[in-house]
Structure 1
Amino acid sequence: MTSSQWSSGYVTDITYTHGYYNELNIQRARLALIHAGYAAPDIMNACELGFGQGISIAMHAAATEARWAGTDFNPTQALHAQGLARAAGADADLSDHAFAEFCGREDLPEFDFIGLHGIWTWISDENRAVIVDFVRRKLKVGGILYISYNTQPGWAAAAPLRHLMTEIGANLISPAGGSTARVEGALDFVDRIFATNPNYLKANPAIKERFEGIKKQGRSYLAHEYFNRDWHPMYVADMARWLGSAKMSFAASAHLPDSVDNINLTPEQQALLKDIPDPILRETVRDYCMNQQFRRDLWVKGARRLTPLEKVEALQTLRFILTMPRVKVPMSVAGALGGAGLSEAVCTPLLDLMADFKIRSIAEIEVALKGVVNFDQLVQATILLTSLGALAPVQDAATISKARKRTEKLNLHLMASARSSGDIAYLASPVTGGGIQVTRFNQLFCFALKQGRKTPADWVNFVYQWLTAQGQRLLKEGRILETEEENRAELLRQAEEFNAGLLPVLKALEIA
């Protein structure tokens, strides 16, 4: 069977990016549901369809007590995911089956959580029907479906640009060079077209700026985003129709900033939405207000609304930890209305309290900040700071204890891999049940520490030996550092910054 036969028109000659996606973290999903006023299930069995390189599913299999299963039909990516799970000693069922084959398996359990990130838009209607039937049969009553997809109206102006790039890649660029050549050739030819100042560009002047941003993206990402055969952005109402036969109800956005009206909607828009009783129509109008182009939705089978008291009590039990150095926390957040500053009066005392990296529940924080911050302010600040990566919801102590050995093994594997590659810029935390961004050199400093090197100077010696063995040098401010002295000085600067900033965070997260 040739790749064109098993790939169903999907790009396979260039592998997907090595990303980690927080929305697939079951702790984040529970937080979003509870904040939206819905009961959240305990998650014992979880599934990810189309897991790409498998970074997310491997980290979640290692860092939680849920048993994960999933598939990605690219065998190279499935092999990579299996290797990560095996390194962690995680009991994960990962395959390279096509959706129809995987979803038809009779040995799979019923799932409490099924996730698809960046898949729905790029597959055929036939595969969509397979997935919906799988959700109907295999998602438990009360279970969560996470699904992300390109949506309208945000793609209305740019969809012709994507079509143009795809057509150029398919018809003008020789297939001999593979997907990378198609991407480069299409970008160059669109530049030539735009140089003629076509009426499309005159009618949509913002497209020029968008195209300039596209040109800066990684070629692997662009190949998968813009050059697959199938691409169907979908209105949320259309998604509701697809999922209706699986008895799914829309519950919340998994993208936490979307739940904060003040950064996304004007007062007039907020008032308008409150007058719309139908939840799908309300989401549709909201998408028009925000010009939404990518949705990250949580749907529930048999959604149960929490009473106001139940919601408050559920929120109060959630526990959080600071996940970046206090001084690095950004004090603004981006929404559909643009950038908005966080409330200093609310966030400063909250961050000061959490700066010791201790785990605290919302209830404990509320008591500590009594008279300074009220409950509603505290919840909104916690949501926004979590969306910025400054806070993260925390698992229970028993789960942390059970996951610790697996995340330790996975992280050592990733740190060892960082000696030669910076592809995976994440490590797994048993505290948060997911991944934390840690760049290559910071992983290597952490690896050196685990090898018994105790000082930043020792870490530099450890790291530099691997760089010199491979003929690698550091890049600083766009310039390659040529001499050993320059490379060591830059490594020492980064090591000392790591020691003072990120290392205490990684220790609190039980990574270092």
Structure 2
Amino acid sequence: MNDWTDGYVADIGYTHGYYSELNPLRIRQIFLYAGLKFPEVGTACELGFGQGVSINVHAAASAIEWHGTDFNPSQTVFAREMAIASGSGAQLFDDSFESFASRTDLPDFDFIGVHGIWSWINDENRAVIVDFVRRKLKVGGVLYISYNTLPGWSSFAPMRHLMTEHAKILGSEGHGIINRINGAMQFSEKLLTMNPAFLRAIPLISERFNKLKEQNRHYLAHEYFNRDWHPLYFSAMQDWLTPAKLNYACSAHHLDHLDLVNLSNEQQALLNEIPDQMFRESVRDFIVNQQFRRDYWVKGTCRLSALEQMDQSRAIRVILTVRRTEVELKVTGVLGMATLSEPVYAPILDYLADHKIKSLGQIELAMKEKGIPLSQITQAALLLTGSGQMSLAQEESTIAKAKKHTDKLNSHILRKASSSGDITYLASPVTGGGIIVGRIQQLFLLGLSKGLKQSNDLAQFAWQVLSVQGQKIIKEGKRLETGEENIQELTELTKTFIEKQLPILKALLVV
């Protein structure tokens, strides 16, 4: 009998996550910072879109034509509902990678995204993906790919193997994957309390396992308990992608580009002595003990001159996505927490405090009297974007076109908030991507859409939804039991939402 799952967990759905790395808009900023020419993305593809939150947000919030596949039909049904609701025209299929790659109705793509897939499939499927990228990615196009990395996973791989072996051999097949996971976790915890030599050799295993226990079991099922689980070295990824004519471009993770928060002076000097870019990446992974890579690969690298890099950087548009008073002038890298220079960042943040879109060129002019050059502005923008306090902004024409689709998608998500808190993002036509908005705040927005305006009315509306489902608010780790307590807390949350979050959501045209 043919197993359509191909060893991948399919009896429970994947989490409803949103992944900003799949937003093609971010390519522009990161490529320019790395001194590379970026493509204009008109067509894009996501392989293995899960529940489809990311692909639907990006299709609705941009002018890009999106295609994608996920082998799980239940997830594809959920994703298609969002696509139909938004009217984005995203073409979503439940094909296997092999079937999808053989379709004759697909365009060539400027961008292909493969997030959270590569490490959890077999070599046959990897070969299919590489061949698909070889044939369907345009010259100059970008592949985004993420994967579990060695050496970072070397220490915990034996624990993962132990847990999956327990689930396979001692777990009861008839009781479902969640029970098998819980049994494997309980056994592993018991084993660790016996202070095995493995734990004494690698003491950090215990800390990592304790964090694992708190994770959503649906996430653990897909992350750890698939049949295939293959972390690999960066050089092995290079070997896979070379036949597709791809060159490594740069990391898709903003903070990876800022050596000052990740590498000591001696480590930077050592890396700078290595002439080969590929080996330099391998050495860097060893220095930072890399566990997960998020990379851009390009079909045809084209470097920009310093003048081109500066001129094109000036056109980058940004918007502040948190209140000015709540901006953290700190960033955490491999070396720990670093404090940002207030004389540089404060004037830039003050200029952006009105939550209006500004180009880096406009910021440069405004900062001229402060003596802050474009180089510091571009670095600040990269860091603030990477920390989630700033977002890139699309062109006005694209924003206007996308808003009708994001309005429809967001209405669909808000209606779902009445019965579920699975989706915690809404779409912004300004950023071309998702903005985190929790379920309670979504209920407030749903109440506002029904004409409710007062904090108490919105709190009463949210409580009606929650109480019918037997749900209550948790405050400071304590469950609020009475209706009065819940309504009082919801009222306070509503006031905070209206004062602090709603103005930003309006600036981002989420509402």
What TM-score, normalized by structure 2, do the two folds share? Answer: 0.98
Q: How much has 1:276 moved relative to structure 2?
A: 1.4
Structure 1 residue ranges, 4+ long, deviating more than 4 angstroms after superposition: none
The one-letter code matched in structure 1 to 2:85 is A
**d(CA) in 1 for partners of 2:344, 2:78:** 44
Counterpart residue number, 1:91? 89
The one-letter code matched in structure 1 to 2:456 is A
Q: Deviations over 1:266-317 (max 9, x none)?
A: 1111111112121111111111111111000000001111111111111110
Q: What percent identity do the matched residue pairs reach?
A: 54
The one-letter code matched in structure 2 to 1:51 is F
Q: How much has 1:330 moved relative to structure 2?
A: 2.3
**d(CA) in 2 for partners of 1:170, 1:204:** 25
**d(CA) in 2 for partners of 1:160, 1:473:** 40
Counterpart residue number, 1:450? 449
Q: How much has 1:328 moved relative to structure 2?
A: 2.6
Counterpart residue number, 2:342? 344
The one-letter code matched in structure 2 to 1:447 is L
2:153 is the alignment partner of 1:155: yes
**d(CA) in 2 for partners of 1:82, 1:469:** 28
Q: Deviations over 1:98-152 (max 9, x none)?
A: 0000011111000000001110000000000000000000000000100000011
Deviation larger for 274-283 or 65-74: 274-283
Counterpart residue number, 1:400? 399
Deviation larger for 172-181 or 105-114: 172-181
**d(CA) in 2 for partners of 1:10, 1:479:** 38
Q: How much has 1:34 moved relative to structure 2?
A: 1.5
Of the candidates 203, 206, 217, which is equivalent to residue 205 of structure 1? 203
Counterpart residue number, 1:466? 465
**d(CA) in 2 for partners of 1:231, 1:470:** 38
**d(CA) in 1 for partners of 2:464, 2:184:** 41
The one-letter code matched in structure 2 to 1:131 is I
Counterpart residue number, 1:65? 63
2:238 is the alignment partner of 1:240: yes
Specify the SS of the correspondent of 1:428: strand
**d(CA) in 2 for partners of 1:389, 1:427:** 15
**d(CA) in 1 for partners of 2:390, 2:295:** 21
Deviation larger for 230-239 or 469-478: 469-478
Q: How much has 1:329 moved relative to structure 2?
A: 2.3
Counterpart residue number, 2:74? 76
The one-letter code matched in structure 2 to 1:296 is R
Counterpart residue number, 1:220? 218
Q: How much has 1:466 moved relative to structure 2?
A: 1.6
Q: How much has 1:9 moved relative to structure 2?
A: 0.6
Counterpart residue number, 2:20? 22
Deviation larger for 451-460 or 297-306: 451-460
Q: How much has 1:454 moved relative to structure 2?
A: 2.0
Of the candidates 124, 127, 130, which is equivalent to residue 129 of structure 1? 127
**d(CA) in 1 for partners of 2:347, 2:170:** 59
The one-letter code matched in structure 1 to 2:508 is L
Q: How much has 1:238 moved relative to structure 2?
A: 0.7
Q: How much has 1:334 moved relative to structure 2?
A: 1.6
Q: How much has 1:450 moved relative to structure 2?
A: 2.0
Counterpart residue number, 2:305? 307
**Counterparts of residues 15-54 of structure 1 (less than 5 Å):** 15-54=13-52
**d(CA) in 1 for partners of 2:292, 2:379:** 23
**d(CA) in 2 for partners of 1:424, 1:125:** 32
Specify the SS of the correspondent of 1:163: helix
**d(CA) in 1 for partners of 2:422, 2:324:** 27
The one-letter code matched in structure 2 to 1:162 is R
What TM-score, normalized by structure 1, do the two folds share? Answer: 0.98
Deviation larger for 141-150 or 340-349: 340-349
The one-letter code matched in structure 1 to 2:468 is A
**Counterparts of residues 140-219 of structure 1 (less than 5 Å):** 140-219=138-217
Deviation larger for 12-21 or 374-383: 374-383
**d(CA) in 2 for partners of 1:210, 1:106:** 46
Counterpart residue number, 1:290? 288
**d(CA) in 2 for partners of 1:179, 1:171:** 13
2:314 is the alignment partner of 1:316: yes
5+ long unaligned stretches in structure 1: none
Q: How much has 1:72 moved relative to structure 2?
A: 0.5
Cα RMSD (Å): 1.1
Q: How much has 1:333 moved relative to structure 2?
A: 1.5
**d(CA) in 1 for partners of 2:180, 2:325:** 43
**d(CA) in 1 for partners of 2:388, 2:97:** 32
The one-letter code matched in structure 2 to 1:374 is P
Specify the SS of the correspondent of 2:426: strand
Deviation larger for 114-123 or 481-490: 481-490
Specify the SS of the correspondent of 1:141: strand
Counterpart residue number, 2:475? 476
The one-letter code matched in structure 2 to 1:103 is A
Q: Deviations over 1:401-456 (max 9, x none)?
A: 00000000000111111111111000000000010000011111122222222232
5+ long unaligned stretches in structure 2: none
Specify the SS of the correspondent of 1:68: strand
The one-letter code matched in structure 2 to 1:320 is V
**d(CA) in 1 for partners of 2:226, 2:471:** 35
Q: How much has 1:371 moved relative to structure 2?
A: 3.4
**d(CA) in 2 for partners of 1:468, 1:262:** 50
**d(CA) in 2 for partners of 1:213, 1:82:** 34
Q: How much has 1:379 moved relative to structure 2?
A: 1.3
Of the candidates 269, 272, 292, which is equivalent to residue 270 of structure 2? 272
**d(CA) in 2 for partners of 1:249, 1:49:** 20
Counterpart residue number, 2:494? 495
